[in-house]
Amino acid sequence: MDAASRGQRLDALDVALVEHVRAHPRVGDLELSRLLGVARATVQSRLARLQESGVIAGWGPDIDLRAAGLPVQAFVSLEISQGALERVEEDLVAMPQILEAYVTTGSSDVLCRVVASSHEGLQDALITLNHSPSIVRSTSVMVLTELVRPRPEALLATVASADAPRVPAFRRPTDRADAADATDEAGD
């Protein structure tokens, strides 16, 4: 079993690293070590471990599809023919408008996110989908606005193991501020 299927045990430093790298993707290891109050070698080894285990899956830029001229999005649920999953996958991969697709439970078999430059472009993509002999039915739901952006950091912070081994010198920036406040109050 690989690390990705077992799950990586994260601690507060791992979560802080992910938060900082997502917020500032071009930040260097030295700056991360300064911000987090740990050695540069610790930052480097932690980032390498997070990459090797698949927690950090890539370093590419986030793309704003609306700014790139693709403002129309829909979620499309597909009911497919029995045993046709591989064929449907081939059909979906062949369509650049399919941004992502997931095999699901429930009344539909596959859920796709479809992106287009216009409503007409979305309609063309839906018609192309419906021409697949492996797709029995499709149901579309238009995206009006994005209410919550993808935010894995918030979720990671909730699963960081409190009993996981940690770097002794590491305290979250809020911990350092609390300690500084306590020192100021003791000196008064």
pLDDT for 148-174, tens place per residue?
A: 988 888 888 887 766 555 565 566 655
Query: What is the architecture of the domain spanning 7-61?
Result: Orthogonal Bundle (1.10)
Q: Parse the chain into domains and list their residue ranges.
A: 7-61, 72-142
Written as six digits, the tokens of 98 are 């399919």
Domains 7-61 and 72-142 share a fold: no
Neighbours of 14 (CB within 10 A): 23
> 72-142 — its CATH code?
3.30.70.920
- pLDDT for the residue numbered 168: 58
Q: Where are the alpha helices (DSSP H) in 7-118?
A: 12-23, 29-36, 40-52, 85-93
Position 23 scores a pLDDT of: 86
- The residue written with tokens 């596959």 in the block is 110
Query: For residue 76, what are the contacts with CB-CB under 8 A and spacing of at least 6?
Result: 111, 112, 113, 114, 126, 129, 138, 139, 140, 141
For the residues 121-130, what does the mean pLDDT come to? 96
User: Per-residue pLDDT tens for 92-125?
Assistant: 999 999 999 999 999 999 999 999 999 999 999 9
Mean pLDDT of 18-46: 92
Q: For residue range 52-90, list pLDDT tens digits in order.
A: 998 988 887 788 899 999 999 999 999 999 999 999 999
Please state the rounded mean pLDDT for residues 133-144.
96
